Every structure is written in C-alpha cells, then in structure tokens.
Structure 1
C-alpha cells in the first residue's frame, strides 16, 4: 500500500486553511520566548549506558523477578526434554547456542537427553508440539526460571518455548571471560496475538536472503507475522503457474519462484512466524493490467509498469467485467494452496475511481446491480473478492478504504487493517481490526514517538471507548515497511532498531510499558547491538554508504551526519509538491502531483530515523542544565565540531554529484549556524550573563526557522510548516535543534549555574 496523504476532502481543506493562515501571519507573529524541553528522550538516563547488573530484555516480560545469584554457562550445554522435543524446538536451541556463542566470540555445543537428568543445564518442559504452521490462536506463553544450578523453561507448546529461548538469549552476558545468566523467574505472554511487519516487495524487490535476515530479527524481538506485499503498480512478485504472464510480464524480471516462497514459509514457521500474502486489488494493479490487458478499463492508454499520466493513483482494473473475477479466482486458488496461513490480504486501498465514473459500460453495470455510487461499486468488488478468498478456505483482510459509510454488511466479510483516518463509521464496529495507523516506518518518527502510540488509538461511531468496551475486536498490529524509498541495501536502516520498540509495544502489558519507558533507550541501544551481532545491517549500511561517497574527510562527514535525521514523510520532501496538494484540494481543476517511484541512493535514504549522537547531546544538555558541569567541555567540543562542518565539507560536496543534488551546502551551513548559536548560549551560561532580550529574540527566531518536526497525519501544523521550509529542510531534520533551543532558553533565563570546567 502506498503512503500518500490520501485524506478526505474536508481534511485537505483543513490543511489548506492552515497553510493559508500561516502565510497570512508569517513574518508578523511574535517570537517564541520559550522552547519546550526536549521530548525525545524517553528513558534517556544519563547517557552512560546500562549498568552491568541491569537485566536488559526487550520486549519486557509480563512478570520478572531477579535475585542476587548467577549461573555460569559451560562450554557444552546439556539439554533435557522430558516431554516433547520437536524438530523446530531442537533447531531453535541450536540457534540459541550459536547466537550466544557469536555474542561472546566463543563456541557453545549442545548435548541432548530425552529424560530429565540430574546435571542438565537447560530443561525444556514442553507439553506438546504445535501445528507445523503457527496460527493466530497459538499459545506463546512460557515460564522461565534460572537458578545457580540450571535453567527451566516451561511452555504448553514449542512456539511458546521459542519465545522463551529469545528471552533467555537476551539474559546472557559476558563477564570476565565467562557467559553468565542472572538468577531470575519470568512468567510471560503477549498482550496481542498478531504482531506483524508489512514488507513491500513490489516497489523495490527484496531478495530471499534479505527476507530471511528480516525474519531472523523478527524472531529475536518476538514479532510473529510477516505480511508480504507481493503485487503493486511496479511489479508482481510471485510466480504463478495458472496466470504465468503475471510474473513473466508483470514483474520486470524480479519475483519469487514458488519453491522460494515455500522456502520462506518454512524458514518463518521454524521461527514461529506466519507469512500472510497480499495481492491488492482493484487499485495498485498495473502489474496485473500489463500482464492481462483485458482487466483494464476500456479506452485507457496501454498500461506501463509503474507509470501513468494523470491523477495521484493509477487506474484500477475493471470491476464490471466477469473476466476480472475469473482471473482473480484462479490466482486466489493457486496462492491459497501455496501460502498455508489462514489469512489472505486483498488490499483495496487508494482506489482511483475516476476511470469507473467515465466508462459507460461500468455505469451500466452499476445500474444493473443497483449500485448508486462508485463507492458502492468499490464495496461490491471488495466483498466479491473476499467471498472468493473465503471460498478457498481463507480469512480475508482488506485495508480500511474497502469499507464505506453506507456499507451495512454485518459483520463485515473481512478483517480491516487501519492505517489512516482514525475516526470510523459504525460498520467498523463489527470488524476484526488489525492496527497499522502510526506504525509506518517511512514516516520517520523517532522510536520514543512510536513507543507511545496505542493500538486502541482510534474511534468508531457509536463506541465510546474502544479500549474499555473491547469492540471492535483488535487482532493486533503491524509495522509497515514500504519500499518507495527503500531497497534491499537500506531496508535494515528503515526497520531497526525502531521495530524493536514497536515489538515491545505489541507484546508487553500496559503496566510493563509504563515501567519500560524509564529505561527505554538504554535497553533499545543494547538490543540494537544484539541485532547487529545477529546480522542486521542498519549500522553497517549507513557506514558503507558514507565511506562510498566520501573521497576525503570521512570523519567530518560522519560527524556532520550525526546532527541529521531524515525529515518526515518522504512525499512531503518538496515544497512544490505540497503546494500542488493544497491547490488540488481547493481547486478541482488542479491535478495533484503525479506519483514517481523515489530514488534510493540519496544521503537521506541512508540515514537512521533517529540520531543517537543527537540524543546523547540532548541528554548531556539536560545534565548540564541540572547542574552537572562535567559535561560542559564535551558539549562545547561537539558544538565546535559541528560549527566547522560547513567549511570542512565544502570541498567534498563540490566534488560529489550526489551531495550537490541534495543541496548539502545549505544543510551544512544550517548545522554550522545552529552550532554557533549553541556555542553562544553555552558562553552566556558559563559567564553567568543572561542573553539580552533582542539577542534572545534574534537567536530563538532563527532556531524556529529550523524547527525540528515529527510528522504524522494528525499533525497539521507540521504539514503546514512544510510549505515554508526550503526543500533541503523538507528532507533533513536538524536533530540537534531542540537541544540548542533548550540552551538558548536557559541562557536567557539563566536556568542553570554552569561553570566551564
């Protein structure tokens, strides 16, 4: 599913009004005399890392009690399985031992015993083997006890034991050349049964090795569903033997063979992870229409993969042709047998209904069926597609646009995946809900923001409180990794470590989430390093890109990049495009900007969504303003380095086509200016000489020009601000701006007794 700003007309009118209002008051409004405390540090702590005795587990278990003892792991782990030892469980233990060994640089071996034996280091008491392919109702609970003498892991089935093994892996630490475990008692189970990840393989194809790497990371943080988005305007990514043109013509050459799909399904199942396919229709379907032109609406130009001439979204298939349903049914029958999961996603989002309105045969079809609007026609199509899926023994899922206010089907014939509006008509009350709203990784929100977004954060007309009333039924949630600006080289940057934060949101109980916020970033940093040791490439990919584009002064480039984050929603990275959106919402004759698949080789596409260096800078700023003068030299040195960025990087940018294209000269100049403002504030604090009103007015107003923003569809102010930002600042957030603004505010009000040490 694409992630354009596809809000309804009223919402766009509101956005337009906001933008116009800002235009009217720009330049004449009063400056901000205070800057809010940096809100990006949830559980930021002191910035010194976790203490050696701190037990770092993510997601946080339902219940965990530690004591003072320690268990030392030997080089050979004796494992007993007195009840059940499935092949999946045995392979999971072998992976656990290999991963712990990799973590420590040692080699662990495993010896097995059928019965409980005295001297076993790890006893696995598993009541039964679960289904070969996990399902929504799988019991993932487990109990884990570590004493000085050994480990006891109990679960009702082997999938629950897999979850316990991942917790056990996170408990292992290396100290003084030995592998140690704290003595602990854990009773754990998930808050939500469906904890997934949408992986878009259509916009940019993801090789099998990339998907396997993602699955390995998902296993570690207890995500249990991989939702594969397998078809879109840019390509059809699954081999079809009944409709072979779909992959032969509609893929552009990149697709998964059926044997590769089976390989991925088995690889996932071995880790207790389900794979749910999505073949979205009627929109996002150019790959279908290129392969089988009879599906298209009559009179339209010949379809081309990933290209169309007008409108924001591509033309949909023709829902008035019986041939359309015949071909869809053939594909569903084939894919239902290839993918064993009970669920099957039918898409149905972002449908451009204009071609339906203009086609006489479609209008005649609507009249014959008693369909009074194209929305009703969309509902007809979605429900018919869903009925085909159900006829092949699967449970259909659709995106929220498949439901229209006039729909009266009760219950709805499909589960509904929410992603956009947040306020829904009564028809949604009868649906099973899958939540993705506020969990879109390409919106580039920092981990602390994502961590706070609740699955119940939506409203349904007629239901006063979704969380309290338990209606509609929420199955769980999915993180969305869309690939307009992501490919196999940059996927890990987009996914990790933020997805570990959301995995905790999906798994842990509300009471644990409140406790977890206190240590959130300390734990997330540790888990990020564990993911690296597991093979995730989120750090490596950024480092490799910087080394590739830097022919000189890699250190200066790396330091400069530490001050940046990719700004907001990728489609909001051009002021011209935003103005076109505003104009198209106000004037019907103005077309919205045409869709174009983005580049994946720009600097912003290789930056983590959140700068760890900027976060540490903010933490040290708060320490300084709380009276810890020891951090003053570090802050000053860091600001001096950032201040020098523009001059140091000018020769590199001049010689780099990629950096000049992104207008990095403007961004380096901005970072240097912000750093200089920070140095002025530090100097004021160190001398105990408050900034004068005029100087404070000037500095704070200048910082407001570079205001750090967190994008969301509900944040109209951030959208409106984008109309006035230069394009380089549409693309790059200056991550140190909030902390520098904090220093300036403190320098005006002398909120700290700072001594330069």
Structure 2
C-alpha cells in the first residue's frame, strides 16, 4: 500500500546550547506566501514569557490560553518594556490588515502584524509549528512572511435545521481559526427553527425554537439505523417532552450570542448573522402567523409561505427584530437571506397588490426587490451593510450591497454584480456545499479551483476580479444532526477551502497539500475531531481486464488500516488487511474499507473486476454520410430514472463536440447523446461520467457506468476492453431543475483522463 507522508529533514543541528536535534518539518495549512527555514530549533517551555504591545493584551491572553489548552504550556507575562520568549508586535507595513511576519530563531519567537488581526493570523501559524506531542516543544528556525489572497474566507453553519450548542459552535470557531478562516456566517433562522432570542418577540423562541420531529429528522434516524451510525442520531439533550409531545430544538440567549461573538473576535473571526427573509420564515410564523398574507403558516408549491411585504405591521416586525440583532453583532455586515421565495400568496394578497400599485412595481418579483431595498435602507440607517443570496441581483443592486453567489445554474449573477462594482462572495453549491456527500475527486477539485475563473464564460476583467471578495463553504444541516457528523462533512474539504482563500496560486501544489494534510490528521486524532477518510484510489467502480488484474490500493493517509473482502460482505475490523497488491484472475467484486487508529471505520468502496475479451470494432452504418460531433436529443422530461427519458417527447436535436448541456436549455430536462468514437489501439479504456442529477454510459450496447437517480454532482468510473476501430457510445442524462451538469472523460491505456471528443454521428 502506497502511503503519502512528508518526512522531516534528515540533518541534525545544535540549537540553544542543547544537544543535537532534528528540526521538525514545516507543514502549514494554508500555505504561507514565503517560508525560509533555518538550521536549528527553539525549545518552547513552560515558564517562558510572552511580551506584547499594549494594544495586543487581549491577543496575548488568547495566545496564552491556546498554549495552555492545546500544548500544556504554562506561560508567564514579561514585565512591561522587556522582551519575552514570544513577542507580539504591531508596525508591519503592509496593505493587508491580516498580514504578518513570524520569526523563530535562537532569541525566541516574534510575530509582527499590520494590525491586531495580522498578529492573530500569525498565532494561527504558530499553533501549527508547535509539535502535537506535549513532551516535544521544538519549533524549527523559520522566517515566514504572509498575507491573504482574499479578504473573505468564510464558513456557514446552519443551526436552524439542526441545532448546535454554544460550546459546539465555539469548537467550530476554533477549527476555523486554526486554518485562518475569518468569516463565520451564522444561519440562525429558517423554516425548521428560530435560534436567536429576540426580547420584543418572546414567542419566536418559546414556540419557534422547538418542533415535533420532521421529515429531516426521520431521514437522519433512518440513516443511523441503516448504517449503524450513531453520528446520525438526534442528541438527547436537545429533546424535551411537552404535553406528551416529544420536541426537538434549542436557541441562543442574547448573552450567549455576545459570548460567542467575543470568542470569535479573540480568534480573528467576524460573525455575520443571517435571519433569512422574506422566505424561509416559518420558524417565526409559529408564534406570529399574522406576518403572512393569510394569517396562517403554510407551505406553497415549492417553499414555505413568506412574509407579507404588503403589510406595514409585518415590515415593522422584521425591522424590530433586526434592530435587536444589530446590537449583538459589531461587524458591519449582516445577511438578509432573500432566497427561494414562494410568491404565490403575493399574487392573491390585496395588501401586496396595493404595494405593487403604489410603487409602480412590475410584478411580484419587483415586490421582492422593493422589500430587499427597503430592508437595506433600514440596515444602512443602523450602520450596517447588506449581504444577500444572489437572487437579489434580479431586482437590481444598490452600490453597497454584497451578494453571496450559490446558484451554479445562475452564472450571470457574478459578472453582472462585479461589473456594477458590487462585491461577490463565491460559494457555488456544486463545489462548496459541504453537506453534499464528498465524492472521490472533491478534495482536489476544491483545492485546484481558481475562484476568479470558476466559470470560463464569466470572462471577468481585472477590475471585476478585484470585486470577488472571497470564498465560503456552506454546511447546511438538514441531514447533519450532530457535531461529529458536521465535522465529518466539513473535513478535510474545509482545509482545501482555506488554501483556496488564503494562498496565492504560485505557492500552491496539490502534491504538497497532500503531504501537509496527512500531518494535520494527527491533530484531529489527538483532539477527538471527526473527519472523513479521503477516498481510496487505485481502482474504478468497474475494472475490466483481459488476462490478469493487479489491484494496488492507495491512500492519502499514513495512519489507516485498509481491510477488504471478496465475498460481497462489508469489511469489518476482523476482515483481511490489505498489505500488498492483489492479483485477480477471475471476475469478482472486492470491497475495501479504511479504519483509523482508534478503530473508527470509513466508507466502504466497492470495486467490480470483470474479465472479458476485447469488444470487436464495429462498422460505421454509412461512412460517407457520417458527420462530426455527437447527436443529442433534448426531451421534455420530469422523471427520476434514465430509462424513462426515451419515452418522453423530443423538443429539439443538437450536434455537440462533447457531452455537455447547451447553454440555451435548463431546468427540467432529459438528454440522450449517441454517436461513434474511434479507438486507436487494442486495450482497456477508462471512462469517467460526472453528473448532477442521474446519468448512464453505454459502450457497444453494454452498460459501463450507472450513475442514475436524483443526486448532487457525482463522478463514477468504469472500463471496457476495446479493439482498435470504431465503437458506439450512448449517454443518458436528466436534471431535476437544480442546476445540472454532465461530462464524459476517457483515458486510453496508460494515459490520464481527458474530455472525450472526436465523435461522429
């Protein structure tokens, strides 16, 4: 088994008058702008001193606390005017407020920042330089000069769908701080629960913070039973019985909010509250149903009934709510939400129609835009600036509004907003929604994504690129009921995000990140932080061979044990250990499963090995009349299985160079691609089919990849043994109106995957 692990340098040096020692290797995430290592170590010990500029006393307190909690080091404070073993200073001349330098030499450790926030970023780096073993506090001599690429490096935590206690939120903030994520987007309210105390409206939490178990809870409990996974259970401490009904929930008092905001500030993190409106507001309607158009809380065709923007009383309600919120959060940015609004009630509401007429609005979409602008005026009057989901672009943006772009299927929002000079935060759902189950290539895909060219058709000018404020990962918790499950969904992808946001392209390397990530896992293990073991590699979903197959399983992590079975059963802690490549001579299915040092099992991966002869080349039906490209049939389709597409009405025919979705079609659709491709030589060819939602690949009338059913973006791989010559290809694909995508890659024997082109039809 090939394991990837960076080894420390082999040379030894003498440092601080002590015996010869080997400096620990430097493995920092996110990768700093500049690192120069020296030949020596500084031994940090309890009883040493911290000296800080007078304006950095609170930062010094945080450093002291961190060293005590994570490294068992008891530090003292240097006398005023004296140097310490660790020195925290201001005065760095740099345009970024988060810039810092960190120097470790024989005299000690010095962190200098452009502002206190820069010193906090330097402390995050120092934390990763200190060995995890409390008996070993050797820090290598090093000089680091560093500053972030993007100002906004965020993470969203949804505490409405499932609730997280104040201590759990603080642990999440600790994780963010370690990797220099500096914006905590706190999704505090939604249909499933209201999580923030508002003193003027006590029923928001008395009723809105508690619910009977819903379909999301049932899904979690079903997964817990099916997968024997306790992380999918609802925490019992969040349950209570009222009048015989079992209720789930919780909320934060205003004092708890202030405490968490202060905790985040100590770690260099700004907190951005989101109370989503005018839609997603059912949590508020449990206690105050009169804020809707009908006076009742209900569901529309797609989403819950929204606030009634035609009622002055409803507008006053939400403004009063936000006025209390403003006093709790010192950061100047506040998130309004404003996504996924069900407007059916507005069409039938006399108050809404009167508002539309009064302000000469075009329709209900114009009414939503009016509401956003009205709330923005309230924000501005209270010294705040508005952020909203990218739907707010559709109603026109004020010069100071910021959008959070999440809809991969609404790409024009980014060039539109940036061209107008508005700031944009990128959190595309296909890439950075961490509640989606991690797919085999996701970690590398996040790491290697260039934010400013995420979509080639944006064609952003340099000025527009400067309006990309940063990036953010979102953790929506419909199916994440516990802290351990939340950590599992977030890690390791959150580390790739941190480097996307902080590090400049010229210092990034996937191979180097692999090594640095493997070292970070030791920190997770020691501190009881859950994480997903990255997908094992070295095999496909379907593996084809003609004579013999050699199975070489690979892992990013050096600390895991891989177990496997050959009888179709799920590997357990008693199954055979994979220690060397396996030889397969007959068709069979292997199942592999990684185990962490503490025995925690990762996900089982199935690999089918199929022995088959070469598929003979086929004769083109009418070579003289063949045309270049692959034929695509666009069907009017609203099903959930690929096999049903062919029976649906054909809307239009296309000829394409590759397996893509033409830009002119979107929403519900079913597509069938068919054509021919030429194989240059005999051999086993690999195919990779990626889609959101379902897809299937057929080669010479044989199903090679079954990626069917509704799902987020998933890539599956398969192989076929093909003789030199022409072969038939067929791809079926459907999208359920959620911003679909489909692509097909292939690789001749011994080559890397590339987009499949060169079709005939």
User: Shorter-chain TM-score category?
Assistant: 0.5 to 0.7
Quick check: 1:418 aligned with 2:405?
A: yes
Alignment of 1:192-203 (within 5 A): 192-203=150-161
Q: After superposition, give the CA deviation of every residue in 1:562-598 in whole Å (9 maximum; x if it has no partner).
A: xxxxxxxxxxxxxxxxxxxxxxxxxxxxxxxxxxxxx
Structure 2: distance between partners of 1:256 and 1:456? 37
Task: Return the offset for 1:444.
Answer: 3.3
**Matches of 1:66 and 1:76, distance apart in 2:** 26
Q: State the Cα deviation string for residues 338-358 of structure 1 (Å, max 9, x = none).
A: 211111111100111122123
CA distance in 1, matches of 2:604, 2:168: 38
Q: Is the 8 A contact 2:693 2:713 kept in 1?
A: no
Q: Which residue of 2 aligns with 1:125?
A: 89
CA deviation vs aligned residue, 1:729-751 (integer Å, no higher than 9, x gap): 8679999x75x859999xx9875
Higher relative contact order (CA 8 A, sep 6+): 1
- Tell whether the 8 Å contact from 2:564 to 2:571 is kept in structure 1 after alignment: no
2:85 paired with 1:90:
no
Cα distance, 1:161–1:315 mapped onto 2, change above 3 Å: same
Report 1:619-658 matches (<5 A). Answer: 641-646=564-569
Alpha carbons 2:291, 2:307 under 8 Å: kept? yes
- CA deviation after TM superposition for structure 1 residue 291, in Å: 1.9
Give me the TM-score of the superposition, normalised by structure 1.
0.65
Deviation at 1:67, TM superposition (A): 2.6
Say whether residues 1:74 and 2:70 are aligned partners. no
Question: Are residues 94 and 239 of structure 1, via their aligned partners in 2, closer, same or farther at CA, if it must alter by over 3 Å?
Answer: same
Partner of residue 469, structure 2: 475
Helix, strand or coil for the counterpart of 1:346?
A: strand
Given that 1:154 and 1:161 are in contact with CA atoms closer than 8 Å, whether structure 2 keeps it comes out as: yes
Question: Could you list the per-position Cα deviations for residues 120-147 of structure 1 after superposition, in whole angstroms to 9, with x for gaps in the alignment?
Answer: 432222359xxxxxxxx98111111112
CA distance in 2, matches of 1:358, 1:494: 42
Report the structure, 1 or 2, having the larger strand content: 2
Residue number in structure 1 paired with 2:523: 530
Partner of 1:503: 498
Question: Aligned in 2, Cα 1:91/1:200: closer, same or farther, shift over 3 Å?
Answer: same
**Partner of residue 182, structure 1:** 140
Q: Structure 2: any 5+ residue segments left out of the alignment?
A: 10-24, 211-248, 544-549, 556-560, 576-588, 594-602, 619-641, 644-658, 660-665, 672-689, 698-704, 724-746, 752-761
User: 1:221 maps to what in 2?
Assistant: 179
TM-align CA RMSD: 4.4
1:170 to 122, 128, 151: 128
- Give the equivalent residue in structure 1 for 2:75: 110
- Contact in 2 for aligned 1:344/1:397 (Cα 8 Å): yes
Partner-residue secondary structure (3-state), 2:386: strand
Q: Name whichever structure is richer in helix by fraction.
A: 1
What SS class does the counterpart of residue 401 from structure 1 fall into?
helix
TM-score normalised according to structure 2 size: 0.65
| CA distances 1:650-686 after superposition (whole Å, capped 9, x unpaired) | xx9xxxxxxxxxxxxx9979999954507x6xxxxxx
Q: Which structure 2 residues correspond to residues 563-602 of structure 1 after superposition, within 5 A?
A: none
Q: 1:242-268 CA deviation, whole Å, 9 max, x = no partner?
A: 122211222215211111111111111
CA distance in 1, matches of 2:58, 2:163: 29
Residues 1:677 and 2:609 are matched in the alignment: yes
1:363-378 equivalences in 2 (<5 Å): 363-378=353-368
- Listed one character per residue, the Cα deviations across residues 164-184 of structure 1 (whole Å, up to 9, x for unaligned) are 122112123379963222221
1:47 aligns with 2:3: yes
Give the alignment of 1:605-616 within 5 angstroms. Answer: 608=532, 611-612=533-534, 614-615=536-537
Structure-2 change in CA distance of 1:498 and 1:669 (3 Å): closer
Q: Kindly provide the CA deviation profile for residues 364-410 of structure 1, in whole angstroms up to 9, marking residues without a partner as x.
A: 33122211121111100111111111111111111111121x63x55
Instruction: Report the counterpart of residue 290 of structure 2 in structure 1.
Output: 294
The superposition leaves residues 51-77 of structure 1 with CA deviations (integer Å, 9 ceiling, x where unpaired) of 123420001111111133222333433
Equivalent residue for 1:692?
A: 613
- Distance in 2 (alpha carbons) for counterparts of 1:59 and 1:639: 29
Report the Cα distance in structure 2 between the residues aligned to 1:211 and 1:224, rounded to whole angstroms: 14
Contact 2:96 2:147 in 1 (8 A): no
* Residue-pair matches, total: 559
The 3 A distance-change label for structure 1 pair 177 and 377 is: closer
Matched ranges for 1:726-745 at <5 A:
738=717, 741=719
Offset at residue 646 of structure 1 (A): 2.3
Are 2:260 and 1:264 aligned? yes
- Contact 1:434/1:477, CA 8 A, preserved across alignment: yes
Q: Who is 1:755 aligned against?
A: none
Report the Cα offset of residue 80 of structure 1: 2.8
Q: Secondary structure at the match of 1:214?
A: helix
| Alpha-carbon separation, structure 1, partners of 2:536 and 2:33 | 32
Indicate conservation of the 8 Å contact 1:239/1:256, yes or no: yes
Q: Which runs of 5+ in 1 are unaligned?
A: 1-44, 102-106, 129-136, 540-607, 623-628, 653-665, 681-690, 698-703, 753-757
The question of whether the paired residues in 2 share the 8 Å contact of 1:436 and 1:479 is answered with yes
Counterpart CA distance in 1 for 2:398 and 2:335 is 19
